[in-house]
Structure 1
Amino acid sequence: MRDVRVVYRKFDEKLHWHQWMRFLGEDEYGVWLGAPAGSVSQRGDEPTITQEQAHVQLFPQDKWFTAIFNDEPRYTEIYADITTPVEFSDDVVTMIDLDLDVIKRRDGTVFVDDEDEFAEHQVQYGYPADVIATAQQTCDWLVRAVSTDEPFLTVYKTYLDKIR
């Protein structure tokens, strides 16, 4: 398996979350990368964080989100970031994090996180109107989709099996 660098930035290009992941495959939903238990991630230049459970991540083409699918027993099953469309270059995946997150807990609870940050950054970074509208539309769609549509129901489990 080849390693791929995942780099999230904020709208001002400041480094946000980043880590190395393993390429697991590509399907009609996008590119799937995985990180085994014990892998590390880092926000900006803060200390690294060791992940206790394996997780896989979906990077759809031409969509305004990425999604993390966590292995059990982590209480967050799905964590979807609203982002600009992903850019693929060699073995690096980059995107701009647009603050809004759709989270699905293991008990089925779904909620939107960081709406306050989204509102604040619209002003601070001067998000264009089309970026705001597309981010909000994607967020609204994901709130429903994470409980009703693939790849959020069973498809991701195949990739989790690969990284375990």
Structure 2
Amino acid sequence: MSAQQPADQGISESLPTEPGTPVRVRFRKWDGTPHWVFHAVHLGSDEHGQWVGYQPGTRFARPGAKYTARGPGVGFFGPGGWTPLLYRDHPHRMRLYIDLSTVPKWRRLPDGDNRAAYEVTAVDLDLDVIAFEDEAAEPRGQFFIDDEDEFAEHTVKYGYPPSVVARVRADADALLVAVRAGEPPYDGATAKRWLAVLDALSAR
């Protein structure tokens, strides 16, 4: 996925290296309006990207909505235009939620920021690939692409370039195939390894 953030071309890449480093995760929409924000910790990196994790009690907020996580989760930010979260003990038996987005951008925050040392940002591009633990957990099925109507609406409202529309659609379809097949990092074992890192950091 090669879609770039329309307003962030000047951000210089700076990546955390120390496990446990606090990270602010911030999404917005194509026109720059705020979207989901939450705080996590850096876990490490692998061939998929930079991994972060959060514990139960983490607050997720966007204009007009907020919720508090009841279970832990991990996710990664890689060179592709999608940002997955993989869950353990999700109250609705959701296994993973992949946001189709622009390529994530990292920056180091000023020393005066008392909640995070780094921030990672991306533009949410509406489509999501979702998987549940079993078929019975969700009426739409165990695996599906969500928010097709929102994607169509925002394509017109925000004027997504045709290349972005084509790439997001293709990536969503490819990710659904990969999730169904249980390909790494959507195989369960990869998430368990990073959840173990999160558990170890929390036990310090």
Instruction: State whether TM-score is above 0.5.
Output: yes
Residue 95 of structure 1 pairs with residue 122 of structure 2: yes
Aligned residue-pair number? 162
Q: What corresponds to 2:168 in structure 1?
A: 135
TM (normalized to structure 2)? 0.76
Q: Distance in 2 between matches of 1:142 and 1:111?
A: 10
Equivalent of 1:82 in 100, 103, 107: 100
Distance 2:36 2:154 in 1: 17
Q: Give the drift of 1:20.
A: 0.8
CA distance in 2, matches of 1:70, 1:10: 24
Instruction: Choose from 32, 40, 44 the match for 1:25.
Output: 44
Pairing 1:92-131 to 2, within 5 Å after superposition? 92-107=119-134, 109-131=142-164
Flag structure 2 segments of 5+ consecutive residues without an equivalent: 1-19, 109-117, 136-141, 200-204
Amino acid at match of 2:25: V
CA RMSD of aligned residues (A): 1.2
SS of the residue corresponding to residue 53 of structure 1 reads coil
Paired amino acid for 2:159: G
Q: Is contact 1:6–1:18 with CA below 8 Å preserved after alignment? A: yes
Aligned-partner Cα distance in 2 for 1:50–1:121: 27
Report the CA distance between 1:72 and its aligned residue. 1.8
Task: Note the C-alpha offset of 1:73.
Answer: 4.2
Matches within 5 A, 1:54-69: 54-61=72-79, 63-69=80-86
Per-residue deviation at 1:21? 0.4
How far is 1:58 from its partner?
Answer: 1.3
Name the CA shift for 1:118/1:47 in 2 (closer, same or farther; >3 Å). Answer: closer
Instruction: Give the SS at the match of 2:128.
Output: strand
State the identity as a percent.
36
Contact 1:4 1:20 in 2 (8 A): yes
Question: Which of residues 30, 43, 47 is equivalent to 1:11?
Answer: 30
What SS does the aligned partner of 2:56 have? coil
Normalised by the length of structure 1, the TM-score is 0.94
- 1:152 is the counterpart of 2:179: no
Answer yes or no: is the 8 Å Cα contact 1:84–1:97 preserved in 2. Answer: yes
| Structure that is richer in strand per residue | 1
Pairwise CA distance, 1:133:
0.6
- Structure 1 runs not aligned, ≥5 long: none
In 1, are the aligned partners of 2:70 and 2:90 still within 8 Å (CA)?
Answer: no
